[in-house]
Chains A and B, each alone.
Chain A
Amino acid sequence: MSNPILTLNHVTRTFAVKRQTIKAVDDVSLAIREGEIVCLVGESGCGKTTTGKMIAGVLPVSSGEILFRNQNIANLRGDDRKQYRLGVQMIHQDPYASLNPTHTIADIIAAPLRHHGFTRGDAATRERVRELLARVDLTPPDDYLEKFPHQLSGGQRQRVSIARALTVAPSFIIADEAVSMVDVSIRISLLNTLTKLKDAMGLAVLFITHDLALAKYFAWEGRIGVMYLGRLVELAPARDLVERPQHPYTQVLLSAIPEADPEVTRRKKHIELRSMDVPSLLRLPTGCAFHPRCPQFIGAVCEQNVPGLLEANGARVACHLVNRKT
């Protein structure tokens, strides 16, 4: 097993909202190996995007540390910093906001190539731009070079966005809800492009999504981490997580995935929550944040103690019930 490319050690991020502070991400620890796919799943506000932004280095951590190839990203200088900066790229959620509307596709992709001297001369740059466009399945590339972002569809823009991230030869890509704003029919082909690139270039991918079904599809070979209100509640290899979910929240999420076949969906056992309300981050429940909604609530221990993310049957789970059993 290769070394972790990226390690999160007890990473916490707080935001000041009026006079209160909220913990958007709370004590998240995670290690991602070279070439690995990890999916972060959770509902909106669970801190998955904040985690992604901290890893991307556009948001500083409040406490804890993020290591890129065993070096704290906060202390990187000079060449090391540059290696990290270019090594970790992000694909944004909104393809309509992530491309500068005033530049052509050729300009958008050529800018980082020129700036960092990846290619020399206009001809070489153009050739490389074509290559990158072909890589993300925008073919024939010449049809796209002189287009502006507003002339492309959401899916095409997202591919341009991926091509732009690839210009600097990254080793780690954060895909923040990268397909959630794209038509459903385009999603799978976009995901397949990502998978193909990942395999071809040995990229590690952190795939952030609110859609467990998508995570299941994309990260089948990798791991899935489930987040709830800022904390990682379960982290397991994708197959295990889907087939033997341990944390009650993961079980609820899995039971809520609608299947294409309505018969199957109807027959599926739907787990009832104790409460449908997601607690506000401003007034987090004491103890396990999930306890007011947890269908397997076991009393005082859940209300009083925050469960740690502990080893359980080959996974790591933060639940008193699971941890008691193992």
Chain B
Amino acid sequence: MNALRDGIGGFARETIKTFKLLARNKMGLFGFVMTLVIVLLSFVGPIIWQPETSANVADINQGPSEKHFLGTDFQGQDNLRKVINGGKDIVITAFLTGIIATLLAVTVGAFSAFVGGRVDSALMELVNIWMTIPKFPLLAVIATVIKLNDPVTLSLLMAFLDWPGLSRQVRAQVLSLKKRDYIEAATMLDLGTRQIIFREILPNMMSFIAVSTIFTMTFAIYQQTGLVFLGIVPYSGANWGVMISAAERRGVLYTAAASWSIIAPIGAIVLFQLALISFARSLEEVFNPRLRTSV
């Protein structure tokens, strides 16, 4: 019972400490809050503001107004509502791709560094070859063969294509970290392999891993919207990529007022990216005590 209370108390204390650290960096806090808002809006928003099903012929291609903050599109539908409804797939794909690609990269990279020798050379040779393949065209080709109409399959595929570069970096980090004196000290103190990996090595890589995950996420967002824009991935309802594509094909680039139907989704993508990258900065500080300017 006591242990449980201690556990919960300790967890709460840790969480508060983490939040305090997150809040240290204004830019990072902004990123964190913004990411949270975008994720919440993308998941909860569609329940409140359901997608419009019919066209409003009277309101086609309008600029911002009181009724439509971000104007309307070629069907007279509200751009803001479309942006809110189009975020979910992007958010899911970004997070899934980021997490899966990082997990793959960390597993392969760390394994390669620990085992060393022939296994290491073979794995890294494979990674080298993998890295020379141009990813986006390959993704485009695969997308025509495999049906990519759900975000999970798409994430898996993108993660599978994106991990090799990161795994090399992870390997290099582990190779360098495992030779540090404090690892040797931990070996002499007989702290055990598990503790050496998870307590001594991993925390030193966390800021790097977190930042890499976020960069993979931003990359995944570009890839996904790119695929949708090119029409390679089937349109599945509303989606920022679909919005850009539709706007472009309906010739909105030629009328000033209509440009809002392309500015809105692009703005959403930019905002999400910006939020993620600023959040990454804050995460670095959380995981790397040396970056904290004053304590």
A residues near B (Cβ < 8 Å) are 56-58, 82, 85-86, 88-90, 92-94, 97-103, 111-112, 115-116, 122, 147-148, 150-151, 161, 164-165, 167-168
**Distance to closest chain B CB from A254 (angstroms):** 31
Contacts A100-B200, A101-B204, A150-B290; A82 near B190 (Cβ below 8 A): yes
| Complex A-B: 28 CB contacts under 8 Å | A58-B188, A82-B190, A89-B188, A90-B184, A92-B184, A97-B180, A97-B181, A97-B182, A98-B182, A100-B200, A101-B204, A101-B288, A102-B204, A102-B287, A102-B289, A103-B199, A103-B203, A111-B189, A112-B189, A112-B190, A112-B191, A116-B190, A122-B6, A148-B295, A150-B289, A167-B189, A168-B189, A168-B190
Q: Which residues of B contact A101 (CB under 8 A)?
A: 204, 288-290
Q: Are B288 and A115 in contact (CB under 8 A)?
A: no
Assuming the contacts A111-B195, A115-B195, A148-B290, asked whether A86 and B190 have C-beta atoms less than 8 A apart, the reply is yes
Find chain B residues with CB under 8 A from A151 CB.
Answer: 295
Tell me which residues across on chain A come within 8 A of B195, comparing CB atoms: 111, 115
Besides A97-B180, A115-B191, 10 new A-B residue pairs in contact (Cβ under 8 A), listed by A number = A86-B189, A86-B190, A97-B181, A99-B182, A100-B200, A111-B191, A112-B191, A115-B192, A147-B295, A148-B289
Q: Which residues from 171 to 215 on chain B have a C-beta closer than 8 Å to any C-beta of chain A?
A: 180-182, 184-192, 195, 199-200, 203-204, 206
Q: Are B182 and A100 in contact (CB under 8 A)?
A: yes
Which residue of chain A lies nearest to B180 when distances are taken between CB atoms in the complex? A97
CB-based nearest B residue for A164: B185
Contact A56 B188 (CB under 8 A): yes
Question: With the chains together, A63 CA to B192 CA distance in Å?
Answer: 27
Chain A residues with CB under 8 A of B191: 111-112, 115
- CA of A106 to CA of B147 in the docked complex: distance in angstroms? 54
A149 vs B8: C-alpha distance when bound (angstroms): 28
A93 / chain B contacts, CB cutoff of 8 Å? 181
- Pick the residue among A58, A99, A103, A111 that contacts B187 (CB under 8 A): A58
Q: Which 3 A-B pairs have the closest CB atoms?
A: A102-B203, A98-B181, A92-B181
A85 in contact with B181 (CB, 8 Å): no
Residues of A within 8 A of B206 (CB): 102
> Could you say which of A88, A94, A111 contacts B188, with CB atoms under 8 Å apart?
A88
A residues near B199, Cβ cutoff 8 Å: 103, 111
Greatest chain B CB density within 10 A among A82, A102, A168 is at: A102
Please indicate the chain B residues that have their CB under 8 angstroms from the CB of A97 in the complex.
180-182
Measured between C-beta atoms, what is the minimum distance from A223 to chain B in Å?
A: 24
In the complex, residue of chain A having the shortest beta-carbon distance to the beta carbon of B183: A100
CA distance A307 to B143 in the complex (A): 75
Cα A122 to Cα B9 with chains together (Å): 13
Query: Please, which residues of chain A bring their CB within 8 A of the CB of B187?
Result: 58
CA A148 to CA B182, docked complex, whole Å: 14
B80 to chain A: closest CB distance in Å? 43
Interface centre among B192, B204, B289 (most CB of A within 10 A): B289
Question: A231 CA to B290 CA in the complex, in Å?
Answer: 42
CA A98 to CA B179, docked complex, whole Å: 11
A312 nearest CB across to chain B (Å) = 36
The answer to whether B185 touches A92, judged by C-beta atoms less than 8 angstroms apart, is yes
Residue of B nearest to A93 (CB): B181
- Docked pose: A147 CA to B294 CA in angstroms: 11
B203 → chain A closest CB, angstroms: 4
What is the chain A residue whose CB lies nearest that of B203? Answer: A102
Which of A57, A122, A150 counts the most B-chain CB atoms under 10 A from its CB?
Answer: A150
Q: Which residues of B contact A92 (CB under 8 A)?
A: 181, 184-185
Residue of B nearest to A53 (CB): B184
Interchain nearest-CB distance for B14 vs A (Å) = 13
Nearest CB in chain A to that of B10: its residue = A122
A58–B184 touching, CB < 8 Å: yes
Name B1-37 residues within 8 Å CB distance of A: 6
Bound Cα distance A97, B181 (Å): 6
Closest B residue to A101 by beta carbon equals: B290
Least CB distance from B180 to A in Å reads: 6
Measured in the bound complex, the distance between the Cα atoms of B185 and A56 in whole Å is 10
Whether B185 contacts A98 by the Cβ 8 Å rule is: yes
Q: How far is the CA of A88 from the CA of B188 in the complex (A)?
A: 8
Residue-wise interface mask of B (149-184) relative to A, using a CB-CB cutoff of 8 A (1 in contact, 0 not)? 000000000000000000000000000000011101
